[in-house]
A and B are shown apart, each in its own frame.
Chain A
Amino acid sequence: VSAVEYEPVIGLEIHIQLATATKMFCGCALSFGEPPNTRTCPVCLGLPGSLPVANARAVHFGLMIGLALGSELAPRSIFHRKNYFYPDLPKGYQISQYDLPLCLGGRLGDVRIHRVHLEEDAAKLVHVGASGRIHGSDASVVDFNRGGTPLAEIVTEPDLRSAEAAGEWLRLLRTTMRVLGVSDVNMEEGSLRCDANISLRPAGSEQLGVKTELKNMNSFRFIERGIRAELARQEAILCGGGRVLQETLHFDPASERITSLRSKEEAHDYRYFPEPDLVPVAIDAAMLDAARAALPELPAARAERFEGQIGLSPDSARLLAFRTELGDYFEAARSVEVEPAPPAQALANWISGDLLARLAGGQAVAAADGEPGSGADGRGEATSADPSSSRVSPRALAALVGLVATKRISVGAGRQVLDRLVAEGGDPAAIVEAEGLAAIDGGDELAAIVAEALAAHPAAAENVRAGNAKAIGPIIGHVMRETKGRADGGVVTRLVHEQLGI
């Protein structure tokens, strides 16, 4: 065992397909699974003589991203050519940005942003043959539908310190992009892709170690597992007295194996130079105003508002704000006028607790973005349960929480009402009425039932009287059975104590 403690240093490079109507540099519509090579034109096929024209909408989305991340927006940014040969790159170069990107710097959560730039996606190579992978395939064919799709590449500073933190931060980024409406950010469909730069350094050191780049992990779970595996690999090397080599790596989630794609020596010389077919992107006041006007409230700001203005606990505020659909549902429920009105924290608790559990329970494990078993952060992200598409209207939930909070019905009765709402929808008051679930108040009816319960459990009554508070259980249970859960536990306890003279 090495005496040295190592600290992980992780930075992410995220590619986001922008949800524009057309491709980055031509008029082709974006493709969503159309037959191969049906969304192409001379420009995105790289035919001789064709020229690119930058998509203004993509620039607009890029500015929105920059504003959302607090980046410095370059008044004048330029496109460069990144030259390399590959069959999925029809021009022999990718139009990207290099030393003058659209956005520089910024921050999301506790991670600093290095830069954001625009570029075009490559086409899709399909390897024909038994394995479906390049090795051992009979032939490779190219589908150019994806080629030229606009991408925003977001590069972070190396501010992440664990695989879990990377996964969590990536979720925040995804929610932010989704709220912005600039991308579908769906990892399985490839509209969100992530590479990680990973290194270890002795704890407390300021210097960065040799990093490796883990390419193209296609789910949140694989990202965390891949980073963990690579950190373990590097730690084993360093503890064994070896040196980590700078290389590009591939993580195979099936075998958990990490394999080298290319070493530093094999790295491409991309021969970047300014793209002479395009003019600089000059950002004017009108473009900035349009991007600002299009900016919705972002998750981080929403969490602050939920906490600061509405008074939710920090955890509740983040949970609702970072899951847009929950935040939206929460705000919808708060905006309806019901009597009695539900307290905000209680409403938040019912949404994130009982409601979500019931909605998730009613489904197979259909994960967010189809990622089986993700949600290692224990925030229920494993489900795509969206309350707005359930039978429980925001108004009904608000009314229900109001009834419980004012003790007009008990918590237990409230849960029964919620079961009915989830199954059939409807109005809580009507369900309470129909099912006779209204709380029994502290009057004679409940006093009589308490007396009956004490009589039925004399030993327990004696123990309670002797000071054993926990012995009250069977007595309360009796009352709840008799009242079908309509009694308030606190009131019952008070009555028990009164009748026992303590």
Chain B
Amino acid sequence: VSAPEIIDLSAAQAVAEIEAGRLSATELFDAYRARAAADELNCFTWVADEPPAAEARGALRGVPLAVKDLFCTAGVPSQSGSRILEGYRPPYTATVVARLAAAGAPLLAKTNQDEFAMGSSNENSAFGPVLNPWDSARVPGGSSGGSAAAVAAGLAPWALGTDTGGSIRQPAALCGIVGLKPTYGAVSRYGMIAFASSLDQAGPLTRDVTDAALLLRHMVGRDECDATSLGHPEEIVLPTAESLSGLRLGVPEELTGEGIDPAVLAAFHGALSLAQELGAEIHDVRLPHAPHGLSAYYVLAPAEASSNLARFDGVRYGLRAEGVDDLLELYTLTRHDGFGTEVRRRIMLGTYALSAGYYDAYYGRAQRVRTKIVGDFDAAFAEVDFILTPTSPTVAFRLGERTGDPWSMYINDFCTVPMSLAGIPAISIPCGLAGDGAGGELPVGLQIAGPVFSENRLLDAAFALERALGFDGSRARIGGAA
């Protein structure tokens, strides 16, 4: 197998090639290591110097993995995209990274991200923005922008991301790859540098649905170190469905109308037609409280973040302000210098929302909205098997286009946040291309959401649609055979 051909293999295909003895894990690792090291999209914050010393054991056969910066990796920089953790090398490895390494997926690189996963464009990274491999003047989405861009560009076979309000699904959509946010609790959060604990969930960013299933299979599981982890009641299996026959697909008007770019909607409706051809029934469903999801999310997530990020105080690790006279100055200067604008904004938002006298009006009310949204989904899933929406209201936007207006950035999460608040699994698959308004074309993502722990059925449906859609992502691959 020659180098360009290696790059054209999906992760699952690479596993098969290694199993068949036609490809060595070291050869594969070296090929990707060289590509990652030559990256010009700023996808990575760290790249391995050499292949792992020990030969990979386990079902993943040594197919290397890119891991979002915010996963702790022992002895390897884990900075969550922040100046305040610049150069921080934790003494331990996140459970999910350790599990995947044990399953045969060694660490290839750490990927760039929005600082503390707060952002939808990857422009909030202390280590500079990531460029979209489809158009380097555009953002890859965020916060898992480095992971998405690296997989789309063929700089890594697959990658780990995290999703709090859309941080896997939205960059997957904007980069034309597959991104899955599992059911909350299916994957351990131990060792993930927290943004919002009640929402954060790790998931795969992959070239196709089969790879997503394969990676997820080795990620799920109860972890004694994470009290909120549940594991998964089913073993995750590789998808095989060819039709959608008998499936009822729900389309909520609240998330598929106003505010969605017409070109995105056109691609979305094209995918719905295809789904019908595959045997699915399309139904209208209501998610009446979903439009309030964004407001609730931007209270709850900053509230948790304001507390989660309190530990970055300059006392034990990370950045420490120099030349201070007292404790208060140590705190304020360290945190002022260490955190970027968006992180500081959200810490202030969250601190305000939790303050005495405001708690009920903000945090309490947002929690009630969250409960209503859970109820909306329960009611909808009594009628349909899955809910379909566009993943992102627009295709990838230009760098700098939205940085001056936080709200224009926040509404990127409009379609993805309700699923995060409900804790249900959702996958984004590329469903076509849409004009970028400048003569080019950019990928559009289709989001499919299902009830808790429906990952196997969700992956099957996504797999059938993926085959029928026949999306070709190879154009984004740098130096690929195509």
Contact = CB atoms under 8 A, between A and B. Distances in A.
B90 A90 contact: no
A54 B227 contact: yes
Interface string B68-79: 001110000010
A327 B304 CA distance: 51
Contacts of A33: none
B322 to A, nearest CB: 15
Contacts of A51: 189-190, 225-228
A91 B310 contact: yes
A50 B190 contact: yes
A190 interface: no
A273 B72 contact: no
A379 interface: no
Given A48-B78, A276-B304, A53 B227 contact: yes
B91 interface: yes
A330 B226 CA distance: 49
A271 B197 CA distance: 16
Identify which of B94, B193, B311, B327 gathers the most chain A CB atoms within 10 Å of its CB: B311
Contacts of B191: 49-50
Interface stretch (B247-255, B263-271, B313-321): B313-321
A92 B363 contact: no
Interface string B184-205: 0000011111101110000000
A53 B225 contact: yes
Identify which of B85, B189, B310, B355 gathers the most chain A CB atoms within 10 Å of its CB: B310
A279 B355 CA distance: 23
A91 B311 contact: yes
B410 interface: no
Interface string A3-47: 000000000000000000000000000000000000000100111
Interface stretch (A81-89, A201-209, A257-265, A486-494): A81-89
Given A42-B92, A269-B356, A48 B311 contact: yes
Majority secondary structure of chain A interface residues (helix, strand, loop or mixed): loop
A453 B315 CA distance: 86
B412 interface: no
B159 interface: no
Given A42-B92, A91-B310, A49 B303 contact: no
B397 interface: no
Contacts of B78: 48-49
Contacts of B193: 48-49
Identify which of A42, A85, A278, A279 gathers the most chain B CB atoms within 10 Å of its CB: A85
B80 interface: yes
Interface in A123-175: 142
B237 to A, nearest CB: 28
A142 B327 CA distance: 14
Nearest to A279: B227
Nearest to B189: A51
A188 interface: no
Contact of A92 (B192, B194, B197, B311): B311
A377 interface: no
A277 B189 CA distance: 9
B359 A48 contact: no
Interface in B212-260: 224-228
Contacts of A92: 307, 309-311, 313
A93 B91 contact: no
B268 to A, nearest CB: 33
A366 to B, nearest CB: 40
Given A48-B85, A50-B190, A51-B190, A87 B327 contact: yes
A46 B94 contact: no
Interface residues of B, number: 45
B183 interface: no
A46 B316 CA distance: 9
What's the interface size class on A, roughly? 20 to 34
Contacts of A276: 196-198, 228, 304
Contacts of B359: 271-273
Contacts of B189: 51
A87 B70 CA distance: 24
A271 B78 CA distance: 29
Interface in A315-347: none
A278 B316 CA distance: 24
B88 interface: yes
Nearest to A275: B197
A267 to B, nearest CB: 10
A205 B309 CA distance: 48
A47 B312 CA distance: 9
B351 A271 contact: yes
Interface string A61-100: 0000000000000000000010101010011110000000
A82 to B, nearest CB: 10
A412 interface: no
A253 interface: no
A91 B309 CA distance: 8
Contact of A47 (B227, B317, B351, B356): B317
A202 B457 CA distance: 72
A425 interface: no
A4 B282 CA distance: 82
B90 A273 contact: no
B331 interface: yes
B307 A81 contact: yes
Identify which of B189, B309, B312, B313 gathers the most chain A CB atoms within 10 Å of its CB: B313
B91 A42 contact: yes
A52 interface: yes
Interface in B362-395: 363
Contact of A49 (B72, B224, B310, B316): B72
24 contacts: A47-B72, A47-B316, A48-B72, A48-B80, A48-B85, A49-B72, A49-B78, A49-B94, A51-B226, A52-B227, A53-B225, A81-B307, A87-B327, A90-B315, A92-B309, A92-B310, A92-B313, A271-B351, A271-B354, A271-B359, A273-B307, A273-B359, A273-B363, A279-B227
Given A85-B313, A273-B363, A277-B227, 8 more contacts: A42-B90, A49-B71, A51-B190, A51-B225, A54-B227, A81-B307, A83-B307, A279-B227
Interface of A: 42, 45-54, 81, 83, 85, 87, 90-93, 142, 269, 271-273, 276-279
Interface of B: 70-72, 78, 80, 85, 88, 90-92, 94, 189-194, 196-198, 224-228, 303-304, 306-307, 309-313, 315-317, 327, 331, 351, 354-356, 359, 363
Q: Please name the 9 residue pairs, one residue from A and one from B, whose CB atoms are nearest each other, closest first.
A: A92-B310, A276-B197, A271-B354, A276-B198, A48-B193, A49-B191, A49-B72, A46-B311, A269-B356
